[in-house]
Amino acid sequence: MDLSTTLRERRLMAIVRGTHAEAALETIRVLAAEGIGLIEVSLTSEQALDVIARARDELGPDAALGAGTVVSAQDARRAHAAGAGFVVTPGFGDGVRQARDLGLPMIVGALTPTEVIAAQSAGADAVKLFPAAAMGGPEYLRALRAPFPDVPFVPVGGVDADSGRRYLEYGAPAVGVGSPLIGDAADGGDPGALRARIKAFLSATAQAPR
């Protein structure tokens, strides 16, 4: 998949992390049905690899479905075998090297300028700015883009609908959103509430200029 293009087109990456495998799978179904076509399943989720494999079967080979919290080389290999089309890492490590060797597109975690350079040198398709809120949110992205104007940053961590719109306005091709969007849906919570949050996030991101 062309991850860079997908990020620019979709703009919103849902991060599913849950304690109930069936609920996580149902969450993915709802996200896809409601128009969120870029989904990351964290490997810290209950039966994450099985959830990825089943979601891949249901959504088809072209769905932008990836694995998150990829840390080790084994994580990358297992995610690839389960059908992940891309990987997301919290930082630089063996998972990045293995994903690169497997030809998997990567969103590599970084926070400081030094880490951004390392992620780019490793062949990252995009840089996961994480935890974005801890460093000042959208204003930190704005500052980082001065020395790195061509780096596609995907802010993750504490992204709500308002800050998500501002990140996009400041040049991020997409934002990654976990609990502010998913809530308790992947733990067995109300899918109706999830649908309402999806609409709010899609509305907010649509307001940001491309």
3-state secondary structure of 175: strand
Look at residues 56, 67, 135 and name the one whose alpha carbon lies nearest to residue 96: 67
Classify residue 112 as left (phi > 0), alpha (psi -120 to 50) or beta. beta
Asked about 199 being catalytic, the answer comes back as: no
> Is there a contact between 178 and 12 (Cβ–Cβ < 8 Å)?
no
**∠ CA 158-85-176, rounded to 5°:** 10
- Check: CB of residue 99 under 8 Å from CB of residue 70: yes
Find the catalytic residue in 128, 139, 169, 199.
128
Active-site residue identified among 40, 58, 169, 199: 40
Could you tell me which of 32, 87, 34 has the C-alpha nearest to residue 60? 32
Task: Locate 130 and state its tokens.
Answer: 């994480």
Residues annotated catalytic, as ranges: 40, 128
